Amino acid sequence: MRFERIGREPDYSRYMDLKEGWLDRRIFSDADIYEEELYRIFARSWLFVAHESQIPNSGDFLTTHMGEDAVIVARQPDGSIRVMLNSCPHRGNKVCFADAGNTRRFVCNYHGWAFDTAGDLKGMHEEYCYDAGDIDFKNHGLKNVAKVGNYKGLVFATFNSDAPSLEAWLGDFRWYLDMILDNEEGGTEFIGGCIKSVISANWKFGVENFIGDAYHAGWTHDSGTRSMNNGQPVPPIDMDNSYHASVNGHGWEFGTEGVGDLFLLGRPKVMDYYNKIRPKMAERLGEMRSKIFGSVASASIFPNVSFLPGISTFRQWQPKGPMQFELKTWVIVNKNMPDDIKEEVTKGVMQTFGPGGTFEMDDGENWENCTTVNRGVVTRHERLHYRCGIGRQIEHDTLPGIVYRGQYNDANQRGFYQRWLDMMTHDEFGKMPARPEPQLGNVGETRDLPGLFAL
Amino acid sequence: MLDRPLAPPPVEVIVAVTQALHREARLLDNEDLDGWLAMLGKDVSYRLELKSRRFRADRSPPFPLGPGVIFNEDLGRLKMRVDRLKSGFVWAEDPPNYIRRAVSNVEVLATRADNEVRVHSVLGMHRNRIDGTTRLLTAGRTDLWRSEGSAWLLAAREIVLDHSVLPDSNLNAFF
Q: How far is CA A364 from CA B71, B91, B129, in A?
A: 18, 12, 12
Among A438-447, B92-101, B128-137, the range scoring the smallest mean pLDDT is: A438-447
Q: What is residue A78's predicted lDDT score, i.e. its pLDDT?
A: 98
Contact B170 A103 (CB under 8 A): no
A200–B contact, CB cutoff 8 A: yes
Q: In which order are the strands placed within the sheet that holds A81-85?
A: A81-85, A69-75, A60-66, A100-102
Q: What is residue A450's predicted lDDT score, i.e. its pLDDT?
A: 52
Chain B nearest-CA residue for A369: B131
Which residues lie closer than 8 Å to A385 by C-beta, 6 or more apart?
A: A21, A22
**Cα distance from B146 to chain A (closest Cα, Å)?**
26
Contact B168 A358 (CB under 8 A): no
Catalytic (active site) residue A216? yes
Q: Residues of chain A whose pLDDT is less than 70?
A: 1-9, 441-444, 448-455
ipTM of the complex: 0.88
Q: Evaluate whether A55 touches A99 at the Cβ level (below 8 Å).
A: no
- Assigned CATH class of B11-52+67-161: alpha beta
Q: What is residue A7's predicted lDDT score, i.e. its pLDDT?
A: 54
Name the pLDDT band for B2 (thresholds 50, 70, 90).
Answer: low
Catalytic (active site) residue A221? yes
Q: Kindly tell me if the per-residue pLDDT of B138 is higher than 70.
A: yes
Contact A192 B58 (CB under 8 A): no
Q: What residue ranges do the domains of chain B occupy? A: 11-52+67-161
Q: What is residue A454's predicted lDDT score, i.e. its pLDDT?
A: 43
Catalytic (active site) residue A213? yes
Catalytic (active site) residue A363? yes
Which residues lie closer than 8 Å to A445 by C-beta, 6 or more apart?
A: none
Catalytic residue among A116, A261, A363, A422: A363
DSSP state of B80: H
Contact A356 B171 (CB under 8 A): yes
Measured at the CA of A421, the angle between CA A417 and CA A422, to 5 degrees, comes to 115
Chain A nearest-CA residue for B62: A192
- How confident is the model over A43-78, as pLDDT tens digits? 999 999 999 999 999 999 999 999 999 999 999 999
Find residues 214-273 of chain A whose CB sits inside 8 Å of chain B. Answer: 220, 222-224, 226-228
Mean pLDDT of chain B: 92
Catalytic (active site) residue A244? no
User: Coil, helix or strand for B4?
Assistant: coil
Q: What is residue A5's predicted lDDT score, i.e. its pLDDT?
A: 57
Within 8 A of B70 by CB-CB distance, chain A residues are: 195, 350, 354-356
Q: How far is CA A171 from CA A119, A158, A164, A363, B140, in A?
A: 31, 16, 10, 30, 48
Can you tell me the mean pLDDT for B43-55? 90
Catalytic residue among A90, A111, A396, A426: A111
Catalytic residue among A221, A261, A410, A422: A221
Chain B nearest-CA residue for A200: B169
